[in-house]
Amino acid sequence: MKSLKETWWRIEAIAGNTLVEALRQRVLNVIFLFGLVLVLGSLFLTSLTFQEEFKFLKDLGYAAISITGTLVALMGAAQLIPAEIERRTLHTLLSKPVRRYEFILGKYLGLLGLITLMLLIMSLLFAGVLWAKEQLGLLGLPPAESGEEARQMIAAVTAQSRDLNLLQALVLIWAKLAVVTAVAVFFSTMATSTIFIVCTTLLVYFVGHLQSVAREVWLQEIGGSSWLKQGFLALVAFLIPDFQAYNLIDEIIAGNAPPWAGSAELLVYSVVYVAVLLLVSSLVFEDREL
Amino acid sequence: MKRWGRHSGMAVLVLLVWAGLKVPWELRLARERSEIMYGAELPPMSMELRDSLGQGMTLAALGGFRGVAANFLWLSVTTAWEEQQWTRLRALAEMVVLLSAEGVFFWENAGWHMAYNASVSAERFSGDAERGEGPRMRNVESMHWIKQGIELYERGIRAIPEKPKLYEMLALLYQQRLQDHEKAAHYFELASQKEGAPVYLERFAGFALEKAGEREKAYAHWVKLWQSSEEHGPGPRRWGMIEERIRKLEKN
Amino acid sequence: MSARQRLGFLPENPYFPNFLSGREVLRYYGKLSGLEGKSLEARMEELLELVDLQEARHRPLKTYSKGMLQRIGLAQALLHDPDLLLLDEPTAGVDPLGSRQIRDIILGLKQRGKTIVFSSHLLEQVQEVSDRVAILHLGQKLKEGSLAELLEVPDEFELRLPRSGRSEEELRKVLGAAGWSGDEISIRSPRVKLEEYFISSLPERGKAEGRKSG
């Protein structure tokens, strides 16, 4: 029990150090600033109808949050882990009673902390933007006391701005980013080139959005087409995460409220996927010559 | 520490076990997702797979900016409307709904542009009066856009079957543009059964049946509405009006 | 793992997260060594004093000189109070004042009963601080033993006397009378070491600054 606790201390220390290092990285801060500007900028989108404006606002806000998050996850993992090896800080680190898997877990949790922090800040800003838009929208409406019609119009505005399901979308964006980060960590245990890690992770990201298609074709054509094609499709289906599953996010932002149970299962899927990727990363890293 | 040691072997083993577990799980998630997106009636993943590969590629490349791209394209749709360029509008609308099929807004407005704006504009189109083309051409052109509207609404309904809005739009289209009250009644009825549907839709279905001359069906509809509740006090369901319809139909 | 608990290690050219300050590095490595809370803070203060970095404790490591980095490296190797200290080239690339400071720290640790094993190719320094040495060449251990065993020339004497106003001739005469022949005797004035000369020739102020920038 005691050693488990000490393991956790060490992981925590490495995670904390990773977070501090990331917060002092210029690239990551610039990306983050860009995201904040984009979220804030969505407030100034003006369009034809009120309905359009709210839709555009939500789309842009969530795009800003998820793109910024993806870039931070990607650049964070691709910079910080190879840096430890190249600057040889890892050697000093491993001269302490630190196991390699503790290093991997610490790095991952530090990055996840960074992403969580950034998502929270951007979401708060986005909530502020939604609130401002709501107030602007209500300005043009008659007061609620003036009758049923006014109440309905006000309800229509607040239904758009105070949609609690948006939280669900946020949780799923977080889950998706957690998986992307784990993929990047996995690749960074195999190579020290930042470009290699960014490229391979992006490749997995894109193929991941097509994985469900590959899987369906493969299941339909089992025994029916060439071995080469089937083998390739099966490889994609077996190795690549299904990022299409996170399309629930678009559904939620479009105003279709899926049940929380569906999101919860997706969350569990993400957590298990992350655990598997980190286990594999640790094992690969164990064999690596440093 | 060798390059490929004992641990790497274990890593491969873990990946193999996970591969076997993850594919069934992902299939389950996909089925649940398509139930949310398309309703339980449709078999999951019934789209043409090879077609969706190209689309999937585009969508994946746009990543999180998919919705934003659709929004900016939509601005061009509005411009095309202002310039009365209906064919261009149709093409742009197609791209928009490809990028963002999950929102009611684009389907609703794209269909409306076609069945109302474009087709009304075509009714004013004179054609070549000397060759006697005017009215016939008008009719053909106008019908063309109405059919485009119907198609967009129907596809929208397939994409988002659980929302009442597009059923209502389609019913209104049949009622107002084609005077097909029977179909209108059908879609009003469907719309009224969806969650969150405005209460007036159930009455619209009854009125549409009356207009279609289906007296017996209309009567049955009103009676069914009446019997759907124990309470018949004042309120949004307007029991007085329903009672009036029932009495009127009983009289004749 | 338990071996690593009793062992402190300073790698050659140690690399620390250079965005952290001296204190932060010690806290980070302290946590990794299983220390925490008040005992860690107290230990950090103690070590910062030992390696004479109290003044630079809040500066980020990227502003440290080579000697200061080696000293903070020594401090982190000592965090968990190991019995055995392994140092790989502790003074390589460090200026004379800095390496003298490191030598003093090593001697201080030796007095406290720590066992220190270090490698160096600055042989003069090795000679100054070591009890036992081993000579490695191409991965092979050639010689091992105490300095006295290895370096003593057993069949000769070395004398050191104050001049007291006498000449070399007088000394030779005395030794000749005792039976040593003239060509067996070599006499000269002793020299200070270059390092000592270097330090003594610095002005007082320079010494203090030299210490700071190490």
Q: Which residues of C touch A87 (CB under 8 A)?
A: 15, 18
A222 against A166, higher pLDDT: A166
Q: Is A145 on the interface with B (CB under 8 A)?
A: no
pLDDT for the residue numbered B130: 55
Q: How far apart are CA A92 and CA C58, in angstroms?
A: 21
pLDDT for the residue numbered A14: 93
Above 70 in pLDDT, residue B225?
yes
Whether residue B156 contacts residue B97, with contact meaning beta carbons closer than 8 Å, is answered with: yes
- Does residue B212 belong to any structural domain of this protein? no
| C117 conformational bin, left if phi > 0, alpha if psi -120 to 50, beta if neither | beta
Interval A1-36: pLDDT, tens: 678 888 898 999 999 999 998 988 888 888 888 888
Query: Any residues with CB less than 8 A from the CB of B112 and at least 6 apart, and which?
Result: B149, B169
Q: Which domain holds residue B119?
A: 54-161
Above 70 in pLDDT, residue B62?
no
Q: What is the 3-state secondary structure (H, E, C) of A58-113?
A: HHHHHHHHHHHHHHHHHHHHHHHHHHHHHCCHHHHHHCCCCCHHHHHHHHHHHHHH
Q: Which residue of A has its CA nearest to C80?
A: A96
The CA angle C120-A289-A204, to the nearest 5 degrees, is: 145
3-state secondary structure of C137: strand
CA gyration radius, chain B: 25
From A110's Cα to the closest Cα of chain B, the distance in A is 23
- Does residue B66 belong to any structural domain of this protein? yes
- Does residue B184 belong to any structural domain of this protein? no
pLDDT for the residue numbered C2: 64
Interval C132-158: pLDDT, tens: 888 888 888 888 888 888 888 888 888
Q: Which of B202, B200, B197 is nearest to B165 (CA)?
A: B197
Q: How far apart are CA A213 and CA B51, in angstroms?
A: 10
Q: Which residues of C touch A91 (CB under 8 A)?
A: 11, 14-15
- Does residue B86 belong to any structural domain of this protein? yes
Q: Which residues of B touch A55 (CB under 8 A)?
A: 71, 103, 105
Q: How far apart are CA B188 and CA C46, in angstroms?
A: 82
Enumerate neighbours of A (3 or more CB pairs within 8 A): B, C
Q: Is A12 on the interface with C (CB under 8 A)?
A: yes
Q: Which of residues 6-45 of B touch A (CB under 8 A)?
A: 6-8, 10-11, 14-15, 18-19, 22-23, 25-27, 29-30, 32-33, 36-37, 45
Contact (CB<8Å) C15/A87: yes
Crossing angle, helix C22-32 and helix C66-78, to 10 degrees? 30
Whether residue B43 contacts residue A259, with contact meaning beta carbons closer than 8 Å, is answered with: no
H or E stretch covering C83: none
- Does residue B155 belong to any structural domain of this protein? yes
Q: Which domains does chain C have, with CATH numbers?
A: 2-120 (3.40.50.300), 153-214 (no CATH)
Q: To probe the interface with B, which of A55, A203, A222 has the most B CB atoms within 10 Å? A: A55
Interval A98-155: pLDDT, tens: 899 999 999 999 999 999 999 999 999 999 988 888 888 788 777 777 777 777 778 7
Domain count along chain B = 1
Query: Any residues with CB less than 8 A from the CB of B54 and at least 6 apart, and which?
Result: none
- Does residue B248 belong to any structural domain of this protein? no
Who among A62, A262, A283 is closest to B8 (CB)? A283
Q: Which residue of A has its CA nearest to B78?
A: A48
pLDDT for the residue numbered C28: 92
Q: Which of A26-35, A136-145, A180-189, B231-240 has the lowest mean pLDDT?
A: A136-145
Q: Is B91 on the interface with A (CB under 8 A)?
A: no
Q: Is A9 on the interface with C (CB under 8 A)?
A: yes
Token couple for A67: 């793109």
Backbone dihedral angles phi then psi of residue A163, each to the nearest 5 degrees: -85, 105
Q: How far apart are CA C133 and CA A282, in angstroms?
A: 40
Print burial letters for B151-160: b (CB count within 10 Å at least 16), e (below 16): ebbebbbbbb
Q: Which residue of A has its CA nearest to B103?
A: A254
**B42: confidence class by pLDDT, cuts 50, 70, 90:** very low
Q: Which of A99, A90, A6 is nearest to C34 (CA)?
A: A6
- Beta-bridge partner residues of C143: C135
- Does residue B177 belong to any structural domain of this protein? no
Interval C64-94: pLDDT, tens: 888 888 889 889 888 888 888 888 888 887 8
- Does residue B64 belong to any structural domain of this protein? yes
Q: How far apart are CA A250 and CA B66, in angstroms?
A: 9
Q: To probe the interface with A, which of B8, B16, B82, B200 has the most A CB atoms within 10 Å? A: B8
Type of residue numbered A110: G
Whether residue A17 contacts residue C26, with contact meaning beta carbons closer than 8 Å, is answered with: no
Q: How far apart are CA B19 and CA A142, in angstroms?
A: 58
Q: How far apart are CA A54 and CA B103, in angstroms?
A: 12
B61 against B217, higher pLDDT: B217
pLDDT for the residue numbered B8: 86
**A94: confidence class by pLDDT, cuts 50, 70, 90:** confident
Contact (CB<8Å) C20/A95: no
**C205: confidence class by pLDDT, cuts 50, 70, 90:** low
Please give the span between the terminal C-alpha atoms of chain C, in angstroms, as a whole number: 34
Above 60 in pLDDT, residue B132?
no
Mean pLDDT of B107-126: 87
Q: How far apart are CA B119 and CA B101, in angstroms?
A: 24
3-state secondary structure of A50: helix
Contact (CB<8Å) C19/A20: yes
Chains B and C, touching by 3 or more CB pairs within 8 angstroms: no
Who among B5, B22, B104 is closest to A287 (CB)? B5
Q: Which residue of B has its CA nearest to A286?
A: B7
Q: Which of A32, A34, A44, A61 is nearest to A173 (CA)?
A: A61
Contact (CB<8Å) A254/B100: yes
Q: Which residue of A has its CA nearest to B54?
A: A210
Q: Is B2 on the interface with A (CB under 8 A)?
A: yes
Q: To probe the interface with A, which of C21, C26, C32 has the most A CB atoms within 10 Å? A: C32
Q: How far apart are CA A107 and CA A14, in angstroms?
A: 6
Print burial letters for A31-58: b (CB count within 10 Å at least 16), e (below 16): bbeebbebbbebbebebeebebbbbbbb
Mean of pLDDT over chain B: 82
Q: Which of A117-121, B36-40, B171-175 has the lowest mean pLDDT?
A: B36-40
Number of residue pairs across A and C with CB atoms under 8 Å?
Answer: 57
Type of residue numbered A50: F
Q: To probe the interface with C, which of A87, A92, A98, A107 has the most C CB atoms within 10 Å? A: A92
Please give the span between the terminal C-alpha atoms of chain A, in angstroms, as a whole number: 30
Contact (CB<8Å) B74/A52: yes
Whether residue B119 contacts residue B111, with contact meaning beta carbons closer than 8 Å, is answered with: no
Contact (CB<8Å) B1/A287: yes
Mean pLDDT of B11-19: 91
Interval C160-194: pLDDT, tens: 888 888 888 888 888 889 888 888 888 888 888 88
Who among B22, B60, B102 is closest to A206 (CB)? B60
Whether residue A177 contacts residue A115, with contact meaning beta carbons closer than 8 Å, is answered with: yes
